[in-house]
Structure 1
Amino acid sequence: MKASPQITSKIVELCEVLVADSEVQNAREKAEAFLADEAAVSLYREMATLGRALHQKQHHGEEPSGEEISRFTELQDQCDANTAILSFVEAQDVLRNIAEVVNGYVGKSLERGKVPTEAEVFPQGCGEGCGCHH
């Protein structure tokens, strides 16, 4: 399905604003610097792969060995000490948060048929069961 020319024009305009935004540019630069650092990418990939394997093991009712847990903890510590990885994770958070804001506003607009307020997109409640009724 194709959007109307007016919608397409506004989407392109939003994309232009996004790519020109200094926060987005900074996050992209950090992500690209990480991707250019083969050692950091390899370390991060190894930690993520082992993390997924351990999760799968637990999901299937198996207990990871002490050696596997120690190796994963060691990899996590190495990742936590690597500035390229920390910058990459920070950059991913920035980009993900911006995407959530965009998706939140667009989704609520389509859902409700009107431009939502910030409070409608991101309600400030304490969660279910607290009784504050936010």
Structure 2
Amino acid sequence: MTDPRPSVLFVCVHNAGRSQMAAGLLTSLSGGAVEVRSAGSAPADRVNPVAVEAMAELGIDITAERPKVLTPEAVQTSDVVVTMGCGDACPYFPGTRYEDWVLEDPAGQDLAMVRRVRDEIRGRVEELLAELGVPQAGPLSGV
């Protein structure tokens, strides 16, 4: 049996900041109504600790997440693929919806800058939920 939920894949280069924050936000805001994955074209060793801290401020724990390598299968089995600066490394499959979110890279940045990126991602995730026809599960804690 196939999963009836829409599936979204977030992709950035290192799968350590932007895509991890986006996945955490979509998972939380959709209340599990969306299948959420993230990956990177050149995954880092770990998730950016400042991104983890920024997400914790909203009550979203991404400490257990690990950067994952982008595979053609992950793209092919997703309804929506959101790229965040992975360029030509993202494979293309006809019939899959692609969005490119131009966002600053939070790697090596301070918490204030990562918060700005997180908040921009949050707004885009809320728009994506509306486009998918998925109601928000409820408010986030924190900011």
Q: TM-score, normalised by structure 1?
A: 0.24
Give me the TM-score of the superposition, normalised by structure 2: 0.23
The structure whose residues are more often helix, as a share, is 1
Higher strand share: 2
The structure having more radius of gyration, on CA atoms, is 1
